[in-house]
Structures are given as structure tokens and as C-alpha cells.
Structure 1
């Protein structure tokens, strides 16, 4: 029997606020939802490492797909029970990630974001959102949650063989441009190209009979071990130069670089390159890309990083950078 209820929000106008004001750019809904899928996957790996999950992890690839009306993000992470949906989805202000990190703070190396508000970014582009989920817990009952952008939702038992979560977005008429292979691909490349769990979008293609056709192999769009998370002792000069060209195609080789791993006063990793400048014409400021646990946040770093660093190029990554806030917050 389906359960109906109202989402626990302090204002019935939460959805217009989400659509217009919570995020400055609607495109980041994909970043938030893929990050959540990675988060759920990392949680399962953590539970397995401490002996609380004894099943087979199997293939942990996160899949992104679309058709003429919907975008779907699927993972094989921890999934949710009906009680957890109530706690983490229906109570918007609650952060499941914070609670999890506190419990497993010695083992959870890369828990991304805050699930509640990040998930609700989906309503910026959707007229309806569905969650089909099955918890990793033994005997878990698969559940389906549905909401059409009002405080009302339905929650009912459903069919789902495998653990994990599918998020299905029914894209609204104003945002149909997101239902496009090139658009989705460019957003995944922008925001998710260095996430620590494989992200698949479509299949790899090969040239056959005068056209490109899909193969059976998943098209993995990300590098789960980017240069800045590797140990400097495992990196060669060529590795550093290759990563620089990856970040800045067609650029001259850098003069030299610094590989950062700082723990105090906050955790910070990254690689900063000193560019080769032949004239003032070549002087490019604000070429640093900012990440949070391998999730792209922004490349507009003026006012975020110290002025003397703005002549450098490269990547800075810190888990202390919140994903679901504006640049004005980062600057405060």
C-alpha cells in the first residue's frame, strides 16, 4: 500500500526557492546527483572495509542515461530503506553524509556533499522525480518515491532485484535542452571527469560500415586516479606535463610545478604549475580549477584563492569546500 505525506520543509515555497535561488546555474543538478551516487558507492566500500557489508561489491560503476523525456542516474551503492527515505529525503535539512562521516570518520575517506539539498537540485530541471531504491541490508524491501515538485510525495513498495538507487528525472519543458547526448557529455566532462568511482555514459563506439556504432563496452568518462591524488614518488615529469596538457590543451609546457598535500589548518591537495610566459599577452590569471573531493566546483577563483596565486595554473582540492553554495559564500 502506498504511503502519502508531506515533505518536512519549513516553507511550502521551498521548490520555487530551489529552482531560482539555491543554485546559480541549473546545470549543476547533474554534478549533485552523480556525486550522490558516488557518495552511496563510497559508503558501501567503507562498510565492506570495516566488515559491516559481507556481500560481493561487484561492478560499482555509476551509469548515466537518457531518453526523449528523462535522465537517469543509477548506482549500486548502499541504497535506502523506507525509513531512510523518510530521514534523508523527506526531511530536507538533514544531512545523511554528515552523520555517516561522524560514525566512520576513521574509514570514510571521500564522502561527498550533503545528500538532502543536493538531491533536491533535481527539481530545478524536472516536473517529476522518482527514486527507485533497494538497501544493501539483508531482507530489504525495494521502495519507490515520487514527487512532482510540490511538498506532497508518494512512497510505495516496488520491484528491484539489485541493491542501489536509480534517480529518474522527468525533464520539464523549459529544460529540454538537457536531453541531448552532447550536452550531457559536456557536463559530465566538466564536473565529473575526476570522480573516484567509474562513471559510464553510453557505450564506446567503433567505425563500422561507414558509420560509428555502439560496442558492448561502457564509455567511462572519468579518471578515478587523477594526478593530484597520486603520490609524487609515483609521478614522473612526463606525468605532470601530460596532466597539464589535459587541463590546458595547446599550452606550452610549464616551467615547473608544486605537488601539494597539506593537512593543517585544513586539508588541501593539488598541483600548481608555473606557466611559461613569453610576453604579457600570454599572462592568464585565474586558471586554477577548484575541486571538492574530486568534484569540480569552479574555475572562477578570484577572491577565493590569494591574489599572488592567481598567476599560477593547476588544481586545488579540499573537502572543506561545500558543493551546494554560491561563490559569494566561498568568498566570505
Structure 2
């Protein structure tokens, strides 16, 4: 018996919102209908446990999707619980029947910012079908034997009809007669891409034109004990669209403070290092195996963009379209739990297999350094993952900050480091001499970004991080061999050099930390460091920037300094050239020499004087 029903006025209003305003991407309708089908079959699966008298009992629980380009139709069928005539009226005849009038009134009175919070209370995903279809048929038969063969039909405008349908199997078969501008949804490859993107992990077999599409399991919901390495690797490659194997993986479930199932991977290859541009977030957010956002930007901090995998939380409060999360604080809480777990996991892996971690760190160190500089919440934990070469490691070997602290000398007050382009540049320079003589380890940092890292971190394990070229380091008296200039002569020489080089130096003083070098320069407090100057220069922002004024330390034990002390009294012009040369050599070693050409010109003058004498 055919029946025609009118939609209520407020229901029409809600339907118009769903079709024209609610969803930002029309392809979402497939996700909604597949999710509804999966829910119907889950109810059927539970019903089978308690009921014996079931219609079409032999029907396998599965979802079948059929495309027909010629007819411009898309059919989504399930073998779920189905609906009776009364349930068709209740579930499809009134949108969110329990409160559609209140919903419409609230939506009308609410500001635009509150729409998402309101609509999240009502389940109207089925009506997304009308975004792409000008007619929708729902053929159904209830699981009850006495149920009717029925078809619900509507154009989504003003009314719907319920009629008899011949030989309908148990469950629902939704036939969408697509609009002209939605003809792509009748193409198999289009539908397959959408299913793989949004609905690949539904719990039941999902067939597209007779071929199963969802062949990869939702491993994040399974026990770790039953999953092989091969299955994990296959899952990683599928979800990350990757060709390499993962370097590390983290699979965990958490119940408090929020229910989370997560399966995360770190790649072997850093695509950013190949000039591929900045990676996009790679951890997809799911709710009960249904994709919410494939690339959520605020779930994990930006420095973790290299991580791949899945986070699933059934506690997520979603809006009606599942396209955005209502409670951003809750999303941040999920992210906080995951970030802390992953950092802790990597720290343990680094401890268990230092060689493997060093290989991984060599490719992904930039991300951890970025994290220290930008992620204030997790800065101290991320710092444990940093690795550097040092004065006590061989080339290519590294040490972490925690291990550095463990082997600090009893008198040592700080963690010392030097930033320079290479190991050779550090070890051939003057700054390391006193530290090596006293058995104090110095970390070697080879990237300009390291300057930002240590300035952001500032401390580790309550120990200051201090550059070896800081002006206020006091390592005590030098144990260097050789007789030094008398104190009075040293003071006279320092005063003369200061007067001669007043445009370039802030202070001239004898240096305690020098062993085998004649001099070094230090950056006074408040002055830009060598690395900062290099960065400004690289960015083209050094225009008009004055040359550095440095603290100039000389070594009273060095023969060159002793000779200069005598020469400045007898031949001040030559002594002046030599003092300028010593300064420029020290500036060059510190990375502060802006005009290296002047060394060549001065060397020419000195050679001419030597040849004439």
C-alpha cells in the first residue's frame, strides 16, 4: 500500500541546511551512508546473538556498492537490521525526530560560531545523499520475518512516499539517482578513491562492483601480540602512501584521561631533505574507524609532521558532518597524550640501540631541533632526543645531553658547546684548548639552527648551556708550559693594542684559556653571536650592520705575543700590522671576519717589509 507523507516545516528547514550549508565536501555523503550501513550491520550482528527467528538468516554481513554510469546511479546496500514501515517514518520521515523542532529553533537563534556545537547533537548524515541526488530510494526489509518489502522514495524537497518493493532482501539498499553535476559519483574509480580515503577500515567486507575494497585491517584496534612486522609495514605503506619501511613504530591504547587507540610510525627517509618542500601532517584522526580528518593540523605540534599513522578516539564529540571537532581542548588533550608517549618511546629506543637511533637522528634531527625551539610544553623532553658529536667522541659518533651530564667533571658548572661549520674548524681553533687541557667535554654543533636550539633550551637538567666563546667563562689558571710576559708588560701591550685597534675591539686582556694559540676573540654580552650574524647575512638583513666589537684575549706565554711586546716599542708600524693580523686570524676562527680580502692586502705589506729588511 502506497503512502505519501509531507515533511514538517521545521524538518524542511533542517534538510535544506544539511543539503546546502552543512557539508563543505560533497564526497562526504559516501562516508555517511557507509557508516550508517556498518552501524546497521553491527546491530544485526548483536541481534543474531539473541534472536533465532531472523529473516534472510543466511545473508552474509557485508556492504555492496554498485555504480552505473549509464543510468547515473549509485547503489549502497547492506545486510543489516533493516527497517519496518513505522521505522521508515520515524527514522527517515523526520530528521532527528527526537528534537528536530528544537534543533531548528536553536539553529535559527544561534550565531554562526555555534552552529557546529548545535548540529553535533543530531544524526542526519543520511540526508547528505541529497547533496548529489535529485531522488533517493531506500529499499528495505526488517530482520523480523513478519516485516514488509518496502521502498522509501523522496526528492528531498517536500514529501516522501513509502511503497511496496518486490523481493527485497534483509537490510537496506539505497539507490541514489545522481544530479547532472554529480555524475562522477557513478564512476567506479571515483567511488573507490573515496572509500579508501574515508571508509577503508569499516568492520565488515565492503564490495565495490563485486570486488572487496577494504583489504587492510584497522590494526590500531587489534592486540599487538597478534600482528606481524610484515603486517605493520604493509599498514604503514598503505596509510602513509610510502615506499620505505618505518624506522620506529608505537602502538598503544590509553583509557585515561581519554580513550585513545594509536598506531604511529616514523619513516626511514626524510622527504624534506630531498627538497620536496615541507611535509604535511601525516597522522590521520579517526572515530570508531571512520576517518574524521586525514591531515589534522592542530592535533600534533608542527615539528612532528614527519610522523605517520592513525589516532582513533571514540570520545571525540563531532559535529553532524564529522568534518570538525567541537571541543578543541579535547583534541589538544589527545595530542598531548600522544606527543608525550612518542617522545618517551623514542628516548627508550635511543637508549636500547644507540647505533640505530643515530642513523635515524642523522636524517630527522632538524625536526627535534625545531621542536626544542618551538614546543615550549615538551622542550625538556625533546632535548633528551638531541645528539651531537663532542670533543670526547670520534667523528660520526654522538652523545646525548643526559649522557654528557653524567660524565661532567665534579668542578664543572655548565654544559659547554661550540657552533662551527665542521669538526675540523672547531678542533683547529683556539677555543677548545683549555677545555681539553682540563678534561672538560665540549659539544660540537655544526648547523646554524643549533644557536636557536641552545638559546631556546638555555638549561638542561638544571645545567646552563654555555658557548665556549662566551666572554665570562673562567676555567681557572692555565696549566700551559712556558714563561709568561711580566704582568706590567702584558698590561702595557694590552693598552697599546686597544688604542691601535679601538674600532674593532671592546676590550683587550690576557687570556687564561689559551694554550697553544696566540689569541682569540669573544663575543661581549649583548653583542650578536657569530651564528646570528651569519644568519642575518644569509637572509640579506645585514645591510648597515656594524662590524663586531669583540673581547680580544692574548696569550702572554706565546712567542708571537712576546715578540710583539718588544716590537711595538721599536717598530710600532710593523707591530700594528702584526696585531691587526692576529686579530683577523682570531676573527676568522670565530666566524666573524666580514672582509677576508684585507688579510691578503696586509700579508702583502708584511712580506714587503720583511723583504726590505
Is TM > 0.5 for Structure 1 vs Structure 2?
yes
Deviation, 1:162, is 2.0
Tell me the matched-pair count: 299
Which one has the largest radius of gyration? 2
RMSD: 2.5
Normalised to the residue count of structure 1, the TM-score between the two structures is 0.82
**Larger RCO, structures 1/2 (Cα 8 Å, 6+ apart):** 1
User: Please, which of 304, 308, 316 is the counterpart of residue 313 of structure 1?
Assistant: 308
C-alpha distance in 1, partners of 2:125/2:322?
Answer: 10
User: Please, which of 188, 212, 218 is the counterpart of residue 226 of structure 1?
Assistant: 218
| Equivalent pair of 1:45/1:57 in contact (CA under 8 Å) | no
1:73 aligns with 2:76: yes
User: Please, which of 120, 137, 141 is the counterpart of residue 134 of structure 1?
Assistant: 141
| Equivalent pair of 1:196/1:223 in contact (CA under 8 Å) | no
- Give deviations 1:56-85, integer Å, cap 9, x for gaps: 353122110022221111111110001111
Residue 288 of structure 2 corresponds to which residue in structure 1? 293
Residue 24 of structure 1 corresponds to which residue in structure 2? 24
Question: Superposed, which structure 2 residues align to 1:35-46 within 5 Å?
Answer: 35-46=35-46
Secondary structure of 1:302's match? coil
Question: Superposed, which structure 2 residues align to 1:212-251 within 5 Å?
Answer: 218-223=210-215, 225-251=217-243
C-alpha distance in 2, partners of 1:115/1:238?
Answer: 41
Distance 1:54 1:30, change over 3 A: same
**Which structure has more strand as a fraction of its residues?**
1
Secondary structure of 1:26's match? coil
Structure 2: tracts of 5 or more residues without a match: 99-119, 330-613
Distance 1:115 1:185, change over 3 A: farther
| Equivalent pair of 2:139/2:150 in contact (CA under 8 Å) | yes
Secondary structure of 1:87's match? helix
Secondary structure of 1:12's match? helix
C-alpha distance in 1, partners of 2:52/2:26?
Answer: 36
1:153 aligns with 2:160: yes
User: Please, which of 322, 326, 330 is the counterpart of residue 323 of structure 2?
Assistant: 326
Distance 1:8 1:311, change over 3 A: farther
Deviation, 1:193, is 1.6
| Equivalent pair of 1:92/1:117 in contact (CA under 8 Å) | yes
C-alpha distance in 2, partners of 1:261/1:160?
Answer: 45
Deviation, 1:326, is 3.0
Question: Superposed, which structure 2 residues align to 1:46-195 within 5 Å?
Answer: 46-49=46-49, 51-55=50-54, 56-67=57-68, 68-94=71-97, 116-195=123-202
- Give deviations 1:84-122, integer Å, cap 9, x for gaps: 111111121148xxxxxxxxxxxxxxxxx9995111010
Structure 1: tracts of 5 or more residues without a match: 96-112, 203-217
| Equivalent pair of 2:11/2:94 in contact (CA under 8 Å) | no
C-alpha distance in 1, partners of 2:173/2:59?
Answer: 17
Distance 1:31 1:288, change over 3 A: same
C-alpha distance in 2, partners of 1:301/1:250?
Answer: 19
Distance 1:161 1:179, change over 3 A: closer
| Equivalent pair of 2:78/2:173 in contact (CA under 8 Å) | yes
| Equivalent pair of 2:15/2:95 in contact (CA under 8 Å) | no
Secondary structure of 1:174's match? helix
1:262 aligns with 2:254: yes
Residue 98 of structure 1 corresponds to which residue in structure 2? none
